Amino acid sequence: MLRAIAAVAAVLGLAAPFSTAALAQAYPSKALRFVVPFAPAGSTDIFARLIGERLAIALGQPVVIENRAGNGGNIGADAVAKSPPDGHTLLMATTGVMAINNALYKSMSFDAAKDLEPVIFVASITNALVVPADSELKSVGDLLSTAKAAPGKLSFASSGAGSSTHMSGELFKLMSGVDLLHVPYKGSGQAMPDVISGRVSMMFENMPGAVSYINAGKLRILAVTGPTRNAAMPQVPTVAEAGLVGFESIAGQGLFVPAGTPRDIVQKLNSEVNAIIKSPELTERWTQMGIDRVEQSPEQFASWLAKESDQWAVLIRTHGIKPE
């Protein structure tokens, strides 16, 4: 009897890893759903489509992009957090959604750190401080002097409360002491026409979403928010160089799945997407869009997000920043 029990135990002990491996080998068994928690045409949407198109080829299954904008990205993220953890529903999200919103919003229907699992850090992005091409603001110095002379006159658009485009503006306000009106949208794609037309004074837009408008002469770039100048536009100063010493705001874009997704599937997705990002084609696209590729394991990505979350939470709570 004891031998029989031992034999059964041995079989059961082998069954778990075998079933996990078998699941990963069979993955994906149907179309993948890429949820973008912002409106089309913004940076997050651009990344999702670039990677989704190539991942469909690599995995042999269609990748469907689904834009679910609203509430600073929380609506789309919540939908993924509540999806089956089988690797077929993924979230392309920003630092704002994953490392800022928990501190910014009083009521959250999900916990980004517990209900969503990092897969891969897709890109590290600097933001571009842009104004309409015909704006009277020619530099950060012009912006500061105008804002100080007429508090509340200048406004800045964002892709939504809690986004890096919002928090860059808040950090700029706090460090410079100027009063700027925040105008949130449901995505950069919706904000950009109002910035170009001058209905809104400026925006701290993600570099990938701003580059084409800058090159087309529809926007003027005053500075970038990273610690160093951007390779795509090395002639443009950083905000720190332009006068706000110590200013730095970096946006992260990454891929996530519901918590509880089998580890082998997470690793498979990490490997496949990493190969896509490292391809010569996307390496060139990343350079053209002024972004940096980041090679990280899921664990390293999670650690980076935790640090970002702590840093922004201090800013939000210390200065009482609100979603609206």
Q: Chain-wide mean pLDDT for the chain? A: 90
- Does 14 map to a domain? no
Residues 66 and 97 in one domain: yes
Does residue 324 lie in a domain region? no
Residue 64 near residue 302 (C-beta atoms within 8 A): no
Q: In the predicted model, is pLDDT for residue 315 greater than 80?
A: yes
d(CA 63, CA 45): 13
Distance CA(90)–CA(282), nearest Å, equals 20
Give the β-pairing of 291-292 and 116-132: antiparallel
Q: Cα 179 to the chain's mean position, in Å?
A: 26
Do 150 and 299 sit in the same domain of this protein? no
For residue 28, is the peptide bond before it cis, meaning its omega torsion is within 30 degrees of 0? yes
Rounded Cα gap, residues 243 and 255, in angstroms: 35
Location of structure tokens 């190539």:
54
Pair (219, 287) in one structural domain = no
Residues 43, 106: one domain?
yes
φ, ψ for residue 172, nearest 5 deg: -60, -45
Residue 269 domain flag? yes
Whether 21 is covered by a domain: the verdict is no
Listed residues 219, 250, 281: the one ending a domain: 250
* Boundary residue ending a domain (250, 273, 299): 250
Look up the CATH number of the domain holding residue 236: 3.40.190.10
Rounded CA gap, 324 and 322, in Å? Answer: 5
CA 192 to chain centre: 17
**Domain total in the chain:** 2
Based on the fold, state whether residues 277 and 314 are members of the same structural domain: yes
187 Rama sector, left if φ>0, alpha if ψ -120 to 50, beta otherwise: left
Q: Which structure tokens are listed for 282?
A: 């996307």
Would you say how long the chain is, in residues? 324
205 and 291 inside one domain? no
Q: With helix as H, strand as E and coil as C, how does 253-295 read?
A: EEEEEECCCCHHHHHHHHHHHHHHHHCHHHHHHHHHCCEECCC
Determine how many CB atoms are found less than 10 A away from the CB of residue 278.
12
Residues 53 and 130 in one domain: no
User: Which residue, among 157, 247, 150, has the nearest Cα to 202 in the 3D structure?
Assistant: 157
For residues 158 and 206, state if they share a domain: yes
Q: Within a domain: residue 17?
A: no
Domain around 307: 32-124+251-319
Per residue in 221-256, pLDDT (tens digit) is 999 999 999 988 999 999 999 999 999 998 899 999
Residue 25, domain member (yes or no) = no
Any domain includes 87: yes
For tokens 């986004």, name the residue. 163
Tens of pLDDT along 272-284? Answer: 999 999 999 999 9
Q: What is the average per-residue pLDDT within 101-115?
A: 93
Q: What is the pairing mode between strands 116-132 and 219-224?
A: antiparallel
Question: Which pLDDT does position 59 carry in this prediction?
Answer: 97
For 150-208, how does the pLDDT look when each residue is reduced to its tens digit (9 = 90+)? 999 999 999 888 888 999 999 999 999 999 999 999 888 899 999 999 999 999 998 98
Token pair, residue 16, equals 């778990």
- Of the three residues 223, 250, 277, the one that is the final residue of a domain is 250
Answer whether residue 1 is part of any domain.
no
120 and 142 inside one domain = no
Q: What is the CATH number of the domain that holds 111?
A: 3.40.190.150
pLDDT for residue 13: 52
Segment 17-35 mean pLDDT: 76
pTM of the model: 0.80
Distance CA 282, CA 58 (A): 15
pLDDT of residue 10 exceeding 50, the answer is: no
Q: Is 77 found in the same domain as 161? A: no
Read off the pLDDT of each residue in 128-137 and give the average, rounded to a whole number. Answer: 97
Higher pLDDT, 185 or 5: 185
- Whether residue 272 sits in one domain with residue 244: no
Tell me, yes or no, whether 244 and 131 share the same domain: yes
